[in-house]
Structure 1
Amino acid sequence: MARTGSGALLSRGNIKLDSFLKRNTERAVYQRIRAYEPCVVVSETVRKVYMHVVLSDERVYLAEYPPRTLTEALSFMRVRDIELVNDMPDFLHGKNRELCQHIRITYVTDKPAVRGRDWLRRDRRVGLPPAAPPSRRTSHCPTITHTLEGYPALRSLGELPTLPAARSASCPDPETLGLIRVPHPPTQPPSTAPSPTFPLSPSSLRFNLLDTGQVPRRIGSVLSRLLKKDSSSGGEEREAELHLYAVSHTSRLYLHLQSSWNSFIIRSTLSLDPLYRRRCSASSDSCPGKRLPAISWERTAHLFGQLSCELLQEGISVESLYLLLQELRTAAHRDITLRRLFWRSSELCDFLVQTLEESLHGCQSLSGVYTADQLLLSTLIAQTLAVMFRETEVEPARLNLLSAKKGALASRMLLALICDAELQTQNQRSPVDCELQALLAEYLDASCSLLFELLLLGHEASRCSSADSFLSVGWILGVLQPHPHTLSFVGYQVQQVVLVLSDLQESFLSPLQSVLLFQRCRLLLACLQYNTQLAQHLRSHFREEFRYVVKLSCAEEKLPPRYPISQPTLRLVEQILTLYLRR
């Protein structure tokens, strides 16, 4: 599933569902829907029901087949794990059973367990709350769904028998759907480097009307209210499971779930930082208490085109380039539409990669030392490119651009972001060299975040059977391996992991440090699993550190439980320790 130029969703042969979502959700919510796919749903309250799973940036929703109402299944805030289960469900037969992808989502809930009941049957007994009057576009439709009970083999879409409706109700309007819009902070951390020589732009100039206000929570959907009738809230938290059975070997639902969850835990962890939150709400500071109107797709496209032309003009000064890139990065933090537009033309992405190549590798001083301006500009480019990857995996133009000409642009981006992590200086204690070292460290943080995004792209491609699947994790690491500075670059990232997970640092990790640790652990794990040469190098150079210095208990002590990213990071650390300690 992808989106078209006007902001509408392009569903794979499911115009009815897309029309339903567009008509019955707020514009801000609709624009952030990532994917939807039909599958069989099994949970404590849902028993083998064929439904549409609708995935947004923050939540998983369920819609009947055909769509009548939409209800929230869970929030990514409560998710603990998302995994593929290697089994063949007994309620399917033939090819459907062999092709089925079983996805298990483990999450935390404070609702009491519901055993041996089917929400479909319960829904028949409970009286429907007063419904909103139907609009001219919406007819009365039953809130009943198809169930697989009694149908041993799941048939193709549209062939499932329809159960008789026990009752009917009006399809809900947006007011009946409990969908809210939460402000989405930028995906890159605030800069902590010494003051740059370039003037700083406080916020985006032309995109300052982007909507960052929060819509108050309203009453939940019809199904949500029905499900709450006989289950009380509160009590101790416990784990529950949601099982999704996608009957297709080409299903991308698992990839979308993993990507959405990664994005959510990073974004929500960074939003715990006060400075980060201030940057996120800068566009509405001028109008306290007022909710600024959202910019339309057409207006955003116009402003993005204007900014692109200014960036691509010949003879632009370094100072002007820096200011325009700041504006682009700030706007991209706040508007997913702009991020999607970025991938629809190769010019701007190619320009940023070329500028990074020249700044980091082609314009060093005669002494071979980076200048402060070069490092500042390179850091900003890496941060800008990284944020363009966030939440745009369903944009087909992104994969098309990066996979064109056998991944030529992706290869250039990978090779451009790698640099020597050892700063060649005459006097490491001089103020100038200390400042350069701090700027280089900031660049290495930003480049790790960009490489993390490229590795996520590789993980997605690794699970695809299309012709574009060569953009795999193995391919990415194979491109980097011959680079003369790859070992220095990767070694620095691993050293930072060792430093954080040892007794050398005793304080809690900040939200920014926690996110960087998560990204570095993903990089280290990829090197150990997907590239033999890099894995051998890392094992031989860091085996003792991971055997005697790195401790899982240190990670547990330093990662606050309230950080959404803490538990996923601890699981990564466990995997890394297992690989390192394996003979």
Structure 2
Amino acid sequence: MARTGTGTLLCRRNIKLDSFLKRNTERAVYERIRAYEPCVVISETINKVYMHVVLSDECVYLTEYPPRTLTAAFSFRRVRDIELVNDLPDFLHGKDRELCQHIRITYLTDKPAPKSRDWLRRDKRVGLPPAAPPSRRNSHCPRITHTFEGYPAHRNQSENATEEVHLLPPTRSASWPDQESLGLLRVPHPPSRPSSTASSVYSGSSSPSSPTSPSSPSDHRLNITETGQVPRRIGSVLSRLLRRNGVNNRETREAELHLYAVSHTSRLYLHLQSSWNSYIIRSTLLLDPLYRRRCSISPHSSPDKLLPSISLERTAHLFGQLSAELLQEEISVESLYLLLQELRTAAHRNVALRRLFWRSSEVCVFLVETLEESLHGCQSLSGVYTADQLLLSTLIVQTLAVMFRETEIEPARQILLSAKKGALASRMLLALICDPELQTENQVSLTDCELQVLLAEYLDAACSLLFEMLLLGQEASRCSPADSFLSVGWILRVLQPHPHLLPFIDYQAQHVVLVLSDLQESFLSPVQSVLLFQRCRLLLACLQYNSQLAQHLRSNFREEFRYSVKLSGADEKLPPHYPISQPTLRLVELIRTLHK
């Protein structure tokens, strides 16, 4: 419900709905509800009913207006696309019709299509509206008797909807709701590994110092015997068979849910996109054993089963102690590194701590200042990087990236980053960009090779943090003019004067080409897949929001994306059970199109 840790909301609070959700959901679910908003709902079983849409980290729920029961509409695990449809719905009138946001969500379902709903059959030309180009604002929705000029919807229409929709039965009590009937859908855990010979299947091992650093390709090959590896041709066949059989060998089909947000200030689409992005990244990373251990999740448990959570008061107390130690004067580099490791690990496990981080501006400012000094201050004196600089800088950037995750609804984050015309955000952006070429004074040595590995880990972490800031910028771009602070265009303009921006962007583009070319034949690990997704989003932002960067990429990488990057190759390297695979393939296709 767009909550912060103290219970305040970004949108106007609906006390009755909030109380209903608190009574009828578990505490862990209630605390991770991101937003709720009223809108008109159309699905295979709901015909234009005014309802509340409730978003959690893993699922989208529907409840009546006023709320009586809670129904799980779909899990983000099954979402295939979330898009805005540019049309004018006939069942709305006046300004509501002009300002309405039509959101179409395509997802997979196991349920057979209803046969008794002839009004939804497309062959009778009264179906749901397809996506239309911006120049066409036509509505394909049928006109109905009851309009929505005076919300909520007409009473008898809501009563009919109650009979059509599979709603939850009454819970046993307000304090102990029936968990199964609430339909709380869980993230699937990784496939089990029955024998030691297959122990490296999608293992995704990575460096302990970097949650997003890729491992060597040899660590992620699909082993079939102790001495041999599956050839790429056989791997391709396996990949196609997995896709043909579908997830868990169950027959699924695509279904659509249409949401019409009737408020001209609606942020429902942004919340849906943000929740979906967070879900596919988190659930893909949770397939990596190292990441699961970092989040305190047992290899044999569901990914959402964390260690027992501590209270907000206890979290605040511990964060205060850790902050005081970090901010003490003349702290040694060793102590700083250990404290930052502790902070990063705690942030992985506790979303409340991430919210507290943004409310305590001193820690964020301290990290940005330390990054500036560590990566650029010392490096500018000698012209070379040191291992200590790169290790500390990587840890700082990883910590900042973790703090961005699942904190979109925290008002303190927006306030801190946009204060003084985005001064802190500008410093953070300029501090994380560095020269991707290792400058050395001597000939190439073993030490230089180790530094190159450390520099690669930093560049991976920097891409992840820049990706998080671009997500923030996309929300700002939709809610305010393009020139406003923190929009995607503003972020790229801040970075444009940086002397190392073009080499940094080239480095990220080269790794996208390398990963998707024939030179790398293995499956991508969960960590590598997430990093590929983040790099693709970065390149797409450059192509769409900055003409100079777009021209640079087209001039330098048009041939590579035309001939070396192929969707068939990308499809073979992204395992079908990764939640991030399909969204990544769509990004690759769009980037190839924009490079033409």
Deviations 1:400-455, CA, capped at 9 Å, x for gaps: 11111110011000000000000012456411000000000000000000000000
For residues 116-195 of structure 1, the aligned pairs below 5 Å read 116-117=116-117, 150-156=145-151, 161=155, 173=174, 174-177=176-179, 178=182, 180=184, 192=207
Aligned to 1:355: 370
Tell me which of 281, 284, 307 is aligned to 1:266: 281
For 1:530 and 1:108, locate their aligned partners in 2 and report how far apart those are by CA, in whole Å.
Answer: 32
Deviates more, 1:167-176 or 1:483-492: 167-176
Aligned to 1:398: 413
8 Å CA contact retained: 2:516, 2:569: yes
1:468 deviation in Å?
A: 9.6
8 Å CA contact retained: 1:382, 1:447: yes
Tell me which of 216, 227, 241 is aligned to 2:256: 241
1:564 deviation in Å?
A: 0.7
Aligned to 2:557: 542
What is the SS of the residue equivalent to 1:463? helix
Closer, same or farther in 2 for the Cα pair 1:394/1:428, shift >3 Å?
farther
Q: Is 2:14 the partner of 1:14?
A: yes
Q: Under a length normalisation based on structure 2, what TM-score does the superposition of the two structures give?
A: 0.80
Closer, same or farther in 2 for the Cα pair 1:402/1:81, shift >3 Å?
same
For residues 416-455 of structure 1, the aligned pairs below 5 Å read 416-426=431-441, 429-455=444-470
Deviations 1:530-579, CA, capped at 9 Å, x for gaps: 11111111111112211222212111111111111110001001111111
What is the SS of the residue equivalent to 2:585? helix
For residues 407-486 of structure 1, the aligned pairs below 5 Å read 407-426=422-441, 429-465=444-480, 469-486=484-501
For 1:524 and 1:153, locate their aligned partners in 2 and report how far apart those are by CA, in whole Å.
Answer: 42
For 2:159 and 2:274, locate their aligned partners in 1 and report how far apart those are by CA, in whole Å.
Answer: 37
Aligned to 1:385: 400
1:25 deviation in Å?
A: 1.1
Q: CA RMSD in A?
A: 2.9
What is the SS of the residue equivalent to 1:34? strand
8 Å CA contact retained: 1:111, 1:235: no
For 1:283 and 1:548, locate their aligned partners in 2 and report how far apart those are by CA, in whole Å.
Answer: 43
What is the SS of the residue equivalent to 1:176? coil
- In structure 1, list runs of 5 or more residues that go unmatched: 120-147, 196-232
For 2:380 and 2:501, locate their aligned partners in 1 and report how far apart those are by CA, in whole Å.
Answer: 21
For 1:23 and 1:475, locate their aligned partners in 2 and report how far apart those are by CA, in whole Å.
Answer: 43
Amino acid at match of 1:398: R
8 Å CA contact retained: 2:40, 2:49: yes
What is the SS of the residue equivalent to 2:510? helix
Aligned to 1:3: 3
1:465 deviation in Å?
A: 3.3
8 Å CA contact retained: 1:428, 1:434: no
Tell me which of 504, 510, 518 is aligned to 2:533: 518
Q: Is 2:515 the partner of 1:527?
A: no
1:498 deviation in Å?
A: 0.7
Closer, same or farther in 2 for the Cα pair 1:564/1:181, shift >3 Å?
closer
For residues 65-84 of structure 1, the aligned pairs below 5 Å read 65-84=65-84
1:340 deviation in Å?
A: 0.8
Closer, same or farther in 2 for the Cα pair 1:45/1:469, shift >3 Å?
farther
8 Å CA contact retained: 1:403, 1:468: no
1:368 deviation in Å?
A: 1.2
Aligned to 2:217: none
For 2:13 and 2:364, locate their aligned partners in 1 and report how far apart those are by CA, in whole Å.
Answer: 31
Amino acid at match of 1:370: Y
Deviates more, 1:300-309 or 1:272-281: 272-281
1:115 deviation in Å?
A: 4.0
1:181 deviation in Å?
A: 8.6
1:273 deviation in Å?
A: 1.4
Amino acid at match of 1:153: F
1:234 deviation in Å?
A: 9.1
Closer, same or farther in 2 for the Cα pair 1:182/1:387, shift >3 Å?
farther
Q: Is 2:109 the partner of 1:94?
A: no
Amino acid at match of 2:54: V
1:52 deviation in Å?
A: 0.5
Closer, same or farther in 2 for the Cα pair 1:118/1:149, shift >3 Å?
farther
Amino acid at match of 2:310: I
What is the SS of the residue equivalent to 1:73? strand
1:182 deviation in Å?
A: 5.6
What is the SS of the residue equivalent to 2:315? helix
Q: Is 2:81 the partner of 1:47?
A: no
Closer, same or farther in 2 for the Cα pair 1:475/1:492, shift >3 Å?
same
Deviations 1:191-215, CA, capped at 9 Å, x for gaps: 52799xxxxxxxxxxxxxxxxxxxx
Deviations 1:67-96, CA, capped at 9 Å, x for gaps: 111110000110000000001112111111
Closer, same or farther in 2 for the Cα pair 1:236/1:277, shift >3 Å?
same
8 Å CA contact retained: 2:488, 2:541: yes
Closer, same or farther in 2 for the Cα pair 1:264/1:284, shift >3 Å?
closer
For 2:257 and 2:572, locate their aligned partners in 1 and report how far apart those are by CA, in whole Å.
Answer: 30
Aligned to 2:58: 58
8 Å CA contact retained: 2:59, 2:185: no
Q: Under a length normalisation based on structure 1, what TM-score does the superposition of the two structures give?
A: 0.82
For 2:186 and 2:178, locate their aligned partners in 1 and report how far apart those are by CA, in whole Å.
Answer: 18
Aligned to 2:122: none
Deviates more, 1:534-543 or 1:100-109: 534-543
Q: Is 2:517 the partner of 1:509?
A: no
For 1:183 and 1:108, locate their aligned partners in 2 and report how far apart those are by CA, in whole Å.
Answer: 15
8 Å CA contact retained: 2:512, 2:535: yes
For 1:411 and 1:564, locate their aligned partners in 2 and report how far apart those are by CA, in whole Å.
Answer: 32
Q: Is 2:28 the partner of 1:28?
A: yes
1:345 deviation in Å?
A: 2.2
8 Å CA contact retained: 2:205, 2:289: no
Deviations 1:349-399, CA, capped at 9 Å, x for gaps: 101111111110002275311111110111011111001110111111111
Deviations 1:171-190, CA, capped at 9 Å, x for gaps: 663422426596899xxx97
Aligned to 1:562: 577
Closer, same or farther in 2 for the Cα pair 1:515/1:428, shift >3 Å?
farther
Aligned to 1:490: 505
Deviations 1:279-337, CA, capped at 9 Å, x for gaps: 2226999xxxx985421111111111111111111111111111111111111111111
Aligned to 1:219: none
For 1:467 and 1:433, locate their aligned partners in 2 and report how far apart those are by CA, in whole Å.
Answer: 43
1:494 deviation in Å?
A: 0.4
**How many pairs were matched up?**
508
For 1:573 and 1:165, locate their aligned partners in 2 and report how far apart those are by CA, in whole Å.
Answer: 45
Amino acid at match of 1:111: K
Closer, same or farther in 2 for the Cα pair 1:468/1:479, shift >3 Å?
closer
For residues 220-231 of structure 1, the aligned pairs below 5 Å read none
For 1:164 and 1:500, locate their aligned partners in 2 and report how far apart those are by CA, in whole Å.
Answer: 52
Amino acid at match of 2:574: L
Closer, same or farther in 2 for the Cα pair 1:183/1:244, shift >3 Å?
closer
Name the % identity. Answer: 78
Aligned to 2:108: 108
- In structure 2, list runs of 5 or more residues that go unmatched: 120-142, 164-168, 190-203, 211-247
For residues 338-353 of structure 1, the aligned pairs below 5 Å read 338-353=353-368
Aligned to 1:303: 318
8 Å CA contact retained: 2:346, 2:353: yes
Closer, same or farther in 2 for the Cα pair 1:292/1:359, shift >3 Å?
closer
For 2:250 and 2:521, locate their aligned partners in 1 and report how far apart those are by CA, in whole Å.
Answer: 34
What is the SS of the residue equivalent to 1:107? strand
